[in-house]
Amino acid sequence: METVPKATVRMNSKKTGSEAGEDALIARIRRALPSRPGAQLRTGIGDDAAVIRPARWREWVVSSDALIEDVHFVAGAQPPESVGYKALARAISDLSAMGARPRFFLLNLALPRERIGRWLDECLQGMAKAARRFGMTLAGGDTARSRTIALNLTVLGEIAPGRAILRSGARPGDRIFVTGELGAAQLGLEIVLRGLAGQSRWRELLAAHNYPEPPIVLGQWLARRGLASSMMDLSDGLSTDLTRLCKASGVGARIQASRLPMVKVPRALAERGVEALPLALHGGEDYQLLFTVPARLAGRVPVKHDGVAIAEIGEIVRGRGIELLAKDGKSGRLAAEGWDHFGGRA
Amino acid sequence: METVPKATVRMNSKKTGSEAGEDALIARIRRALPSRPGAQLRTGIGDDAAVIRPARWREWVVSSDALIEDVHFVAGAQPPESVGYKALARAISDLSAMGARPRFFLLNLALPRERIGRWLDECLQGMAKAARRFGMTLAGGDTARSRTIALNLTVLGEIAPGRAILRSGARPGDRIFVTGELGAAQLGLEIVLRGLAGQSRWRELLAAHNYPEPPIVLGQWLARRGLASSMMDLSDGLSTDLTRLCKASGVGARIQASRLPMVKVPRALAERGVEALPLALHGGEDYQLLFTVPARLAGRVPVKHDGVAIAEIGEIVRGRGIELLAKDGKSGRLAAEGWDHFGGRA
């Protein structure tokens, strides 16, 4: 029970030279990603920890998220650039969901030796793309060798005091909104799963799966205006995430299938059994926003903001659970059927 | 190239119910670890992100660190309680190394299904022990299933503006200090590697390996007094870490073997080839402090502070590299021979 296979133990006093390995890798990461210290980031990557001076009258919003090989992605099936982009974008989505402005991130990178070359370069390029797009500066992190790839991202954002939008604020009568096209990321994954990702005709539909775009400008706008009573991001599918929001708020919800902004499924895929409604209800990884607005303020929510479509899909009700009003007028209970890492099988 | 084995893909719309799996696991983590929101932690675990109100006149110190199965520890060989304790303690060591006061942490937990039961309970107990000992509150995180255990810890600390002690401030003439007994953690590991960890006579010597104690009170004291010109923690061995500090400061160092506070190696282990000097020079994971003090202030550094022994081991010099003055009066270059994740083999 106490015997350790020597080969797998961390500490082994091998001659290495600090120039060669880890330090060189850190220098490479530093060059690839925006990481220049500034007025607020006083000490960035390269020291034991980052030192950040808070802006006056700002609260910090902090979240941490992992992207793991063979759990969240398959290295041979997903372009490395997308892996890097997505790892950061989905972490940023948690800031977006609070209404915060993204600022700094830390990257913990665990890699097998064979991924240190070209794969890592492309992965970092994708991450740099997301960093620039969402205004993030690398502030620190860690590297380690491991059997599988794991990217752990910690993101820090800023918000005016008391303005963060929580999951727990939904009240009966509030209107329910979602952004974007529900199921778009899952549709991209279905294309990959069917071995069709190589065909150029589907390329455009893969974007939502490979390069999600959390609507951070809208999130901040909602927080500034004080319009939303509750908010979260759609990461595990509407049915699961709305169930979570309702549970946190102690309420139920009624949504209308006819109002769901569903992704359009091309006929060739529909013929292969891909249906829009299940994608929209249960498909994950859209990284769009789900939020509620008190009825008297609902008219102030535009149908589009900063290029992002916004749709009212139902309302918050007393009680528990989600009622789905189908297009034929029938209604039924909607069960949480999105992804759950530790749930049992159906 | 674009085909994905279905079984390994994250998003698969399996029926799960948000009550059962991940949410229940998060609730368990929440109960096990100190996680109550307070005046500063306005929103903790359970929402998309944590919301933290900065104290007035404080900067934030942030670091992120991973503890990975078969890289940093072997699950069958290390008590789960120690894994949890150590994961947090080594992350805190990075805050200690800046002189910061530990405050909040985020935990990204990746686990195989078979570790969710008793193993996780004991791991969380160990982490709770470290959290209470070092005054940390859990603010958020993430859970995912994976083939091997990975604990990613992000830690946040506070410090007065401009007081953080960096690696880059060492100047020629500065005196070099270390805390604790160098090589103590490595000695513990050597006992494990020799299959002796089960023998009760060595139990006490395992503590430094299993339950490191970063000297956070001393770190804060040095920062408050403005005594140290540079500082870092000893995580990868003195030879490697001092090389890093010197490189960051653009200086060299001269240290005396006779002054190193070396761990005492029991005769029975010495007979098995365990030597104190290599342990002290290259052994990692001590999580003690390495710092420099301008010569005119060196007299103000006590030999002990808050129960932690402090030893002066040499001085910073112009140039590059480390010169080791041996006990016999001879001197030689000391190469960085501590642990490097991505370094080549000797």
Task: Residue B52: list chain A partners with CB under 8 A.
Answer: 59-62
How high is the pLDDT of residue B339? 61
pLDDT tens per residue across span B167-195: 999 999 999 999 999 999 999 999 999 98
User: ipTM of this predicted complex?
Assistant: 0.89
- Helices A22-32 and A118-134 pack at an angle, to 10 degrees, of 40
Q: What is the 8-class DSSP label of residue A77?
A: T
Expressed in angstroms, the distance from the first to the final Cα of chain A is 36
Asked whether the predicted pLDDT for residue A73 surpasses 80, the reply is yes
Per CB-CB distance under 8 Å, the chain A contacts of B60 are: 51-54, 60
Residues in A touching B136 (Cβ below 8 Å): none
Between A106 and B3, whose confidence is greater? A106
Q: Quickly state the pLDDT bin for B261 (edges 50, 70, 90).
A: very high
Phi, psi dihedrals of residue A24, rounded to the nearest 5°:
-65, -40
**B333 beta partners:** B323
Average of per-residue pLDDT across A293-306: 97
End-to-end CA distance of chain B: 36
Confidence (pLDDT) at A342: 57
Tokens of B27: 């609730």
Span B280-312, pLDDT tens digits: 999 999 999 999 999 999 999 999 999 999 999
Contact predicate B168/B230, CB 8 Å: yes
* Total CB pairs under 8 A between chain A and B: 387
Q: Tell if the CB–CB gap between B197 and A58 is shorter than 8 Å.
A: no
In the prediction, which pLDDT does B338 show?
67
Cβ–Cβ < 8 Å for A315, A176:
yes
**B143 contacts A62? CB cut-off 8 A:** no
Gyration radius of chain A over CA positions: 22
Instruction: Give backbone dihedrals phi and psi of B178, rounded to 5 degrees, phi first.
Output: -130, 155
Look at residue B340 in the predicted model and tell me its pLDDT. Answer: 59
> Could you give the C-alpha distances from B132 to A5, A175, B38, B51, in angstroms and in order?
33, 42, 15, 21
The whole-chain average pLDDT of chain B stands at 90
Of residues B3 and B217, more confidence is placed in B217
Contact A177, A264 (CB under 8 A): no
Task: Give A7→chain B minimum CA distance, Å.
Answer: 9
Residues in contact with A103: Cβ distance below 8 Å, sequence separation at least 6, in sequence order: A40, A135, A136, A137, A156, A157, A158
Q: Judge whether residue B241 has pLDDT over 50.
A: yes
User: Given pLDDT bands bounded at 50, 70 and 90, which one contains residue A340?
Assistant: low
pLDDT tens for each residue of B104-125:
999 999 999 999 999 999 999 9
Token pair, residue B271, equals 């007979």
Confidence grade of residue A107 (pLDDT, cut at 50, 70, 90): very high
Whether residues B152 and A108 touch (CB distance < 8 A) is answered with: yes
Model confidence at A2: pLDDT above 80: no
Chain B positions touching A24 (Cβ under 8 A) are: 342
Q: Which residues contact A292 (CB under 8 A, 6 or more apart)?
A: A169, A170, A171, A174, A175, A176, A177, A228, A229, A230, A231, A245, A316
CB A98 to CB B346 under 8 A? no
The C-alpha atoms of residue B96 and residue B93 are separated, in whole angstroms, by 5
Q: Rounded to two decimals, what is the model's pTM?
A: 0.90
A41-43, strands of its sheet edge to edge:
A41-43, A50-52, B59-68, B150-159, B101-111, B137-145
Identify the closest residue of chain A to B48 by CA–CA distance: A94
Closest residue in A to B244 (Cα) is A18
All residues at 6 or more sequence positions from B256 whose CB lies less than 8 Å from its CB, including other chains? B313, B314, B324, B325
Nearest to A138 by CA among A155, A162, A122: A155
Comparing CA positions, the residue from A112, A254, A233 lying closest to residue A173 is: A254
The answer, yes or no, to whether residue A70 has pLDDT greater than 80, is yes
User: Would you give the distance in Å from CA A275 to the centre of its chain?
Assistant: 23
The beta-carbon neighbor of B335 closest among A17, A54, A240 is A17
Q: pLDDT (tens digit, 9 = 90+) per residue, B37-76?
A: 888 898 888 889 999 998 888 999 999 999 999 989 998 8
The band of A234, judged by pLDDT with boundaries at 50, 70 and 90, is: very high
- Cα–chain center distance at B280: 17
Given a cut of 80, whether residue A284 has pLDDT beyond it is yes
